[in-house]
């Protein structure tokens, strides 16, 4: 629909919802692995609807690695829905994570960078916009509504509020590491072998 604009808040909500809706077990989504058997993406986790997964099977773009017990059938054929599929052609992963609200929260481990609060999170421009601060990895941190309000358009020194960590662009690996602290709300057992095999081993 052309000309349809979502208010900012709804877009934020949509972004978060899109991470969880796809993970509804009732939707029987398929975990999509790259040709190297690693998830195509972690954040959001690469999941396709069963319809898209089956389409990809018929287009010969993926191999089925594991299946659900649920079958789909028509008069001429039936098959078990795939729970894990693997691309036949390797897709080069992005070197740097996208600058999204979710990834900023993930970098900051879903905690206010001023007081550590985990609720009512929003974003703070460390150098306020009115003082020339840009909306970029190096100037945006997760902040609770209270700290965000308190800091307002003051510089860190004026407000005596400094972020816990100097904000930088994270690597994909750093986001993966943080992401393991916040696993999706639902994971099919057949996915587990492919999600955490590259966890660093503790001595």
Residue 105 found at the interface with Zn ion (CB under 5 A): no
- Positive or negative, the CA dihedral 126, 130, 132, 134 is positive
Please pick, from the candidates 11, 115, 155, 169, the single residue that binds Zn ion as defined by CB under 5 A. 115
What does the per-residue mask of binding to Zn ion show for 129-168, with x meaning CB under 5 A? ---------------x--x---------------------
**Least separation in angstroms between CB 117 and Zn ion:** 4
Please pick, from the candidates 32, 111, 112, 142, the single residue that binds Zn ion as defined by CB under 5 A. 112
**Least separation in angstroms between CB 131 and Zn ion:** 20
Q: Which H or E element spans position 151?
A: helix 145-151
- CA–CA dist 15, 44 (Å, integer): 10
- How remote is the C-alpha of 113 from its chain's centroid? 20
Please pick, from the candidates 68, 117, 133, 188, the single residue that binds Zn ion as defined by CB under 5 A. 117
- CA–CA dist 192, 165 (Å, integer): 32
Instruction: Identify the three-state secondary structure at position 110.
Output: coil
**Least separation in angstroms between CB 142 and Zn ion:** 9
**Least separation in angstroms between CB 186 and Zn ion:** 30
- How remote is the C-alpha of 104 from its chain's centroid? 10
Chain contacts with Zn ion (rule: CB under 5 A): 112, 114-115, 117, 144, 147
């Amino acid at each position: 629909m052309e000309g349809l604009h979502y208010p900012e808040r709804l877009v934020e909500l949509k972004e978060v919802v899109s991470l969880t809706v796809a993970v509804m077990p009732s939707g029987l989504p398929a975990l999509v692995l790259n040709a190297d058997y690693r998830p195509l993406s972690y954040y959001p986790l690469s999941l396709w609807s069963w319809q898209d997964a089956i389409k990809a099977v018929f287009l010969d773009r993926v191999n089925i690695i594991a299946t659900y017990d649920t079958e789909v059938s028509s008069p001429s054929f039936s098959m078990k829905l795939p729970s894990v599929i693997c691309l036949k052609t390797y897709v080069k992963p992005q070197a740097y994570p996208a600058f999204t609200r979710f990834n900023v929260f993930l970098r900051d481990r879903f905690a206010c960078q001023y007081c550590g609060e985990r609720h009512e999170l929003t974003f703070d421009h460390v150098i306020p916009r009115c003082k020339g601060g840009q909306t970029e990895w190096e100037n945006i941190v997760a902040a609770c509504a209270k700290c965000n309000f308190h800091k307002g358009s003051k510089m860190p020194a004026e407000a005596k509020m400094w972020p816990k960590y100097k904000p930088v662009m994270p690597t994909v690996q750093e986001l993966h590491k943080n992401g393991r602290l916040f696993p999706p709300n639902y994971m099919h057992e057949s996915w587990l072998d492919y999600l955490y095999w590259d966890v660093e081993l503790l001595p």
